[in-house]
Structure 1
Amino acid sequence: MIWKTMSNNLVLRILSSSVNISAKAGSIVRDVMKTGELAVVDKGVNDLQTEADRRAQNCIITSLSKQFPKIAIIGEETLDPNDKIDDKWIVSSFDESVLSHKCPEEWLNVTDEDIVVWVDPLDGTSEYTQGLLDHVTVLIGLSVKGRAIGGVIHQPFYNFDKENDSTKLGRTIWGLVGLGAYGFQHRQPPVGKVIVTTTRSHSSPTINAAIEHINPDEVIRVGGAGHKVLLVIEGQAHAYVFPSRGCKKWDTCAPEAVLESLGGRLTDVFGNQLRYDRNVEHTNELGVLATHCARTSHPYFLAKFSDDIKASLLSSSQMKRNN
């Protein structure tokens, strides 16, 4: 019945589905934490996987694939294709509030072949295992012809410190370029000071040199790319600064789209737009800079990256290609 009054546009349907799917994935992440059986797997340096990552990705990719079998979906985790998917993890519903919006004209004629969905089922896994639950997000990003245009950011543990109150646990934010972002109160960062956020666990001399050159009034060191971009989106920081390789496309696609829908910008440290085509290199080799304002803040912070910092990134990227 809702289809008579609500959009059947492909982009809005994917976002609408992803909103509900992300909430289900978030409940899976919480349920695993409650059991205390995280079943941690070490995938490499500073790269962990838990039972929550595996279950949440199965939920997201299976649910999206059933509803949109022709779109490409790329997830962070490499999973056993023979894993049994619990039927209760599969979501087939749509969020009606998303479908009630009018799709921007530029996305009206998007086809299945144009789309790649990037999935990080649990961004901030290391923090999750350490109990830093406010750092954790579920990320579902929608790209069209290589450009991030739509995103869903779900925080499974939002309000977790108020669980005894009547406050609802968990929060979902979504956005579409040309339409806007929803699910939170948009605020501008403080005027007259500079606040940046950066990594808490992947620091390096290059990152520290960049922060020192910016000379901010405050540095917020937290986990999870999604969480850090959210600090920019919600006006708690002016910029997310990460002049290093390591951040992946599934970390940045959803946050980039939400940020851009609000007038912000996310690029590499040279100011180049990130690409999200299905065959693209998964690592953002030339770092990440996210700012609250594309017109003023972004040029300001880009100018703070010295030639030495840029040369270091280029050298690291070249060494990887040679190997």
Structure 2
Amino acid sequence: MNLSGAVKINKCGVLILSVCVVIVFYYLLFNNSMGSHRFRSHGFLIRNPNEVDLRKLLIGSIQAAQYGGLEVLSVADADNIHAKTKGRTKEGANDPLTNADLKSHCVMEQGLKRLFSTVTIISEEDVHADCSETSHFELDPTVIDEDIHLQDDFLVNADDVTIWIDPLDATQEYTENLFQYVTTMVCVAIRGEPVIGVIHNPFSQKTFWAWKDVAVSASLRKVKDEPVNKMAAVKNPKIIASRSHSGDVEHLIKMSFGENTPIELAGGAGYKVLQVVFGNATNYVHLTEIKKWDLCAGNAILSALNGQMTSLKNQPILYERDPQTFVNKDGVIASLRNHPYYAGKVYDYLQHSQMIKSTNSK
């Protein structure tokens, strides 16, 4: 046995192995969930198969809201609403369900699920609808305004993405033919943060969308371009609140902002956020429990416009996929400007009222 013989090394094999190691190293190095997870080597494009493009998610979300809106319109036109109830809220209000909720849910959820099969999708009507005969849609980039040019490569890890769908916001008002309050909404959250929001009114055919730190629809551009003055808070704000799930919100508003504070009661969380966005209300305040699919799209739009939506405890609302967190139990306050001032007044009153309660209980 010759133990002293020389070992021959295949230089070509070593070179190939070295190149593979380098490629893997750089792929792992740059594979972060919020970046553009791409690496190009010798003309070949390497992509994580679990990535999803946010530009395509925006296009799909706009289309989903609009196609859902067509279902809402068709049911109303055919007078085929067939309203029933899902039960009652803690405040005793009816929680209605219509054919439009179900049809809109199916086209929105199934359309997005086919296009983005690796992404978690949460819809209000997941447990109520039979979507076995649902039509789909293909991505159509023309839904984005012509003068907005968005490149590809806005890639994120699909595991970090949750799409929230409200197939018919303001169902109670829909059954009452108060169609100005009705919207269909889609929101894209990344690791719980609302990033893309779409609010579509089927009856006016107006669509409002925003992608935080990237772009907003033409309908929101004027608002986006307004200068942000964080010092000029309105002393006598106008508040918009829910007409059907109000609880004791009017008392909260008057105690926080003054007895003469004007209050508008309206339907639909999406509608109320848009009233704040366009200056028809200073704040949207909600006291009772509310589902996160009602809030996410409006939250994303406000964030993109330098506004804020928080709980009444002035904490961010996180849109996680855990079913235990689908309900926001801490109320809502939303503002386009000077949010800390308004949220602080509500929070101060709530803290004071809690102090009074605890003192009286002793």
Bin the TM-score by the shorter chain.
Answer: 0.7 to 0.9
Partner of 2:33: none
Measure, in 1, the Cα distance between the counterparts of 2:352 and 2:141. 46
Could you list the per-position Cα deviations for residues 109-144 of structure 1 after superposition, in whole angstroms to 9, with x for gaps in the alignment? 411111000000000000000011000010100000
**Equivalent position SS for 1:110:** strand
2:293 pairs with 1:250: yes
Partner of 1:289: 333
Name which of 298, 309, 321 aligns with 2:339: 298
CA contact (8 A) 1:242 1:287 kept: yes
CA contact (8 A) 2:253 2:346 kept: no
Which is further off, 171-180 or 73-82?
Answer: 73-82
| Deviations 1:261-308 (CA, angstroms, capped at 9, x unpaired) | 001000101111111111151111101111012xxx211111222566
The whole-number CA distance in structure 2 between the counterparts of 1:204 and 1:127 is 17
Q: Are the counterparts in 1 of residues 144 and 217 from structure 2 also a CA contact under 8 Å?
A: no
Cα–Cα, structure 1 residues 103 and 244, in superposed 2: closer, same or farther, change >3 Å? farther
Q: Structure 2, unaligned stretches of length 5 or more?
A: 1-50, 89-93, 227-231, 355-362
Q: Is the 8 A contact 2:308 2:336 kept in 1?
A: yes
Percent identity over the alignment?
A: 29
Residue-pair matches, total: 286
2:190 paired with 1:155: no
Aligned to 1:278: 321
Evaluate the alpha carbon distance shift between residue 286 and residue 310 of structure 1 in structure 2; reply closer, same or farther with a 3 A threshold.
farther
Residues 1:312 and 1:179: Cα distance change in structure 2 (over 3 Å): farther
Cα distance in structure 2, aligned partners of 1:310 and 1:283: 22
Distance 1:183 1:144 in 2: 24
Measured in 2, the distance between the counterparts of 1:262 and 1:308 equals 28
Residue 160 of structure 2 corresponds to which residue in structure 1? Answer: 114
Normalising by the residue count of structure 1, what TM-score does the alignment of the two structures yield?
0.81
Q: Which residue of 1 aligns with 2:103?
A: 55
* 8 A Cα contact 1:270 1:310, kept in partner: no
Change in Cα spacing, 1:220 to 1:305, as seen in structure 2 (3 Å) is same
Q: Which runs of 5+ in 1 are unaligned?
A: 1-7, 159-169, 314-323
Summarize the Cα distance change of 1:301–1:43 in structure 2 as closer, same or farther, 3 Å threshold.
same
Say which is worse superposed, 118-127 or 174-183, in terms of deviation. Answer: 174-183
Residue 67 of structure 2 is aligned with which of 14, 24, 45?
Answer: 24
Q: CA offsets per residue over residues 92-116 of structure 1, 9 Å max, x none?
A: 1223353953469xx9341111100
How far the C-alpha of 1:65 sits from its partner, in A, is 0.6
- For normalisation by structure 2, the TM-score amounts to 0.73
Contact 1:19 1:95 in 2 (8 A): no
Q: C-alpha root-mean-square deviation of aligned residues, in Å? A: 2.6
Matched residues in 2 for 1:137 and 1:311: separation? 36
